[in-house]
Amino acid sequence: GDSVTQMEGPVTLSEEAFLTINCTYTATGYPSLFWYVQYPGEGLQLLLKATKADDKGSNKGFEATYRKETTSFHLEKGSVQVSDSAVYFCALSRNAGGTSYGKLTFGQGTILTVHP
């Protein structure tokens, strides 16, 4: 079945440091890939997405590129801020039909803490 694996956290960085959170996936076909962010006590917010190979999703300084050859979708940001502290989830969604259509498969989440 489909699966998503994220790097284990927690990740602790100083403000303005470079961030990478690794994400790899296993799926048949060509899924869409997403990064969601969850702030304490809240639901999930879409951070960025990519729907086909070599697409780059970007938002709020975060970027991720859909790499089909390595089945990866690593999240990066050049300079993190304290306000980026949250839990980040990598996820995939099947684009074809069948019982898995539209369902999101999540990675385990990575806790990011940014210190001033």
Residues contributing to the site for another protein (CB under 8 A): 32, 34, 36, 41-46, 49, 51, 89, 93-95, 99, 101-104, 106-109, 111
Smallest distance from the beta carbon of 79 to another protein, in angstroms? 26
With CA atoms as reference, report the closest residue to 115 among 21, 15, 16, 10.
15
Which burial class, exposed, middle or buried, applies to 76 when counting CB atoms under 10 A from its CB (0-12, 13-18, 19+)?
A: middle
Q: Which is nearer to another protein, 3 or 81 (CB)?
A: 3
Q: Alpha-carbon distance 69 to 53, whole Å?
A: 9
Q: Which is nearer to another protein, 46 or 79 (CB)?
A: 46
Q: Which is nearer to another protein, 42 or 54 (CB)?
A: 42
